[in-house]
């Protein structure tokens, strides 16, 4: 069965970096893109962008350029989200999801990143 | 700039009642690429409806989607206890990518 399993919660200080992983199984990894979605505490869903798992080419939403980097390791069917220069407002749950570039049919369980001094 | 709105913000209903949720986009949706998700507290979103009206695998037939252009509706014909959740619509824009609406909370009256 299709599964996306994300790395665990992280507590980071402002200015630090964090890398969230998303390991896929149950399907051919390079046949679907991976979306990244942010959800701040008590807030709605915010699309961060996606990465084409066949070419490795990412696309970032307007508000997620510069400090946010998507990457892949196709040998282990894993996508990564790297956030640098963390700020308090980056505190959120980050989801990965398998996507056709429109709908996302399988989602990871979410990774909570807390930024606090 | 594409904007997606949802109404009402909160819908208070009883089990067995019909729920009608609205999603409006500021520009006509490309190819009916309108998607609906359900999210329960502490869980990831779940795909319900794609292409405006197609139910995802395993979604009960009490959920239906309709609409075209800029006006879309998610209908839950008879609310079950497990249907009380937040519902998001999502549009696809060629220049901005995916845009989520702010969500509608369906809670128990």
Q: What digits encode the pLDDT tens for the residues B11-33?
A: 999 999 999 999 999 888 766 78
Cβ of B44 and A107 within 8 Å?
yes
Cβ of A103 and B100 within 8 Å?
no
Share of chain A above pLDDT 70, in %: 100
Cβ of B45 and A109 within 8 Å?
no
pLDDT tens-digit map of B55-108:
999 999 999 999 999 999 999 999 999 999 999 999 988 788 899 999 999 999
Mean pLDDT of chain A: 97
> Which among B33, B37, B97 has CB closest to A49?
B97
Residue B30 to residue A113: CA distance in whole angstroms: 34
> Which among B45, B57, B96 has CB closest to A45?
B45
Q: What is the pLDDT of residue B31?
A: 66
Question: b/e for B58-86, b at 16 or more Cβ within 10 A?
Answer: ebeeebbbebeeeebbbebeebeeebbbb
Residues of A in contact with B96 (CB under 8 A): 61-62
Q: Output the CA angle B51-B61-B28, nearest 5 degrees.
A: 20
Chosen for mutation from A45, A57, A93, A111 (greatest number of chain B CBs closer than 10 Å) is A45
Residue B80 to residue A77: CA distance in whole angstroms: 37
Phi, psi of B53 (to 5 degrees): -140, 0
Cβ of A95 and B44 within 8 Å?
yes
Using DSSP's 3-state secondary structure scheme, residue A77 falls into: coil
Q: What is the pLDDT of residue B33?
A: 86
Q: Which of residues 43-102 of B touch A (CB under 8 A)?
A: 44-47, 50-51, 56-57, 88, 90, 92, 96-102
Q: What is the pLDDT of residue A75?
A: 97
Cβ of A107 and B50 within 8 Å?
no
- Cβ proximity of B109 and B101 under 8 Å: no
Residue A52 to residue A40: CA distance in whole angstroms: 25
User: Which tokens in the block code for residue A2?
Assistant: 């299709």
Q: What is the mean pLDDT of residues A11-37?
A: 98
Instruction: Please determine, for residue A27, whether its predicted confidence score (pLDDT) is greater than 70.
Output: yes
Instruction: Please determine, for residue B37, whether its predicted confidence score (pLDDT) is greater than 70.
Output: yes
pLDDT band, residue B48 (cuts 50/70/90): very high
């Amino acid at each position: 069965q299709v599964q996306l399993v994300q790395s665990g919660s992280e507590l980071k200080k402002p200015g630090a970096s964090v890398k969230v992983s998303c390991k896929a199984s149950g399907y051919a990894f390079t046949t679907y893109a991976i979306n990244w979605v942010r959800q701040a505490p008590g807030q709605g869903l915010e699309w961060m962008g996606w990465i084409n798992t066949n070419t490795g080419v990412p696309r970032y939403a307007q508000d997620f350029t510069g400090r946010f980097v998507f990457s892949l390791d196709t040998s282990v069917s894993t996508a990564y989200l790297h956030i640098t220069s963390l700020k308090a407002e980056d505190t959120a749950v980050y989801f990965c999801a398998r996507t056709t570039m429109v709908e996302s049919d399988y989602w990871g369980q979410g990774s909570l990143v807390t930024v606090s001094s | 700039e594409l904007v997606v709105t949802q109404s009402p913000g909160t819908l208070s209903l009883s089990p067995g009642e019909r729920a009608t949720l609205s999603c409006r986009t500021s520009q006509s949706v490309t190819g009916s690429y309108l998607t609906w998700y359900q999210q329960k507290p502490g869980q990831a979103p779940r795909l319900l409806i794609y292409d405006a009206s197609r139910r995802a695998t395993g979604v009960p037939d009490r959920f239906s989607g309709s609409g075209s252009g800029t006006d879309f509706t998610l209908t839950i014909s008879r609310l079950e206890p497990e249907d009380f959740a937040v519902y998001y619509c999502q549009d696809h824009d060629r220049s901005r990518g995916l845009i989520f609406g702010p969500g509608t909370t369906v809670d128990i009256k």
